Amino acid sequence: MIIRLEADWAFDLFTVCYGLHTVEDRRRLWDDLSSIAIRYCSRPWVMIGDLNAVMYSTDRINGSPFSDYERLDLLRFIEDYKLVE
């Protein structure tokens, strides 16, 4: 879902997202978010939601076991698009 705001705010693009529970299922989310980032790369962007991915094993409480693939996918996305957690 993309919501375009017509106001004099600090951001132009607001994205709400939810990541599925497996690394394989989240790959489509990363692809979709990458498409948004590429298309609107020159605009300020706020993204909120639950990506269901963590950078550190200590960030996970219950749920599926921690995976290096999940961490690497998340870190790559953050670095590629210069996001701030």
Looking at residue 62, its pLDDT comes to 79
Q: Which residues pair with 3 in a beta bridge?
A: 14
Q: What are the structural domain ranges in the chain?
A: 2-80
Which residues neighbour 24 within 8 Å (Cβ) at sequence distance 6 or greater? none
Rounded distance, CA 45 to CA 37, Å? 8
Q: Which tens digits make up the pLDDT trace of 34-59?
A: 998 888 877 788 888 988 888 888 88
Q: Which tens digits make up the pLDDT trace of 5-25?
A: 566 656 677 888 898 888 888
Quick check: pTM over 0.75? no
Looking at residue 21, its pLDDT comes to 81
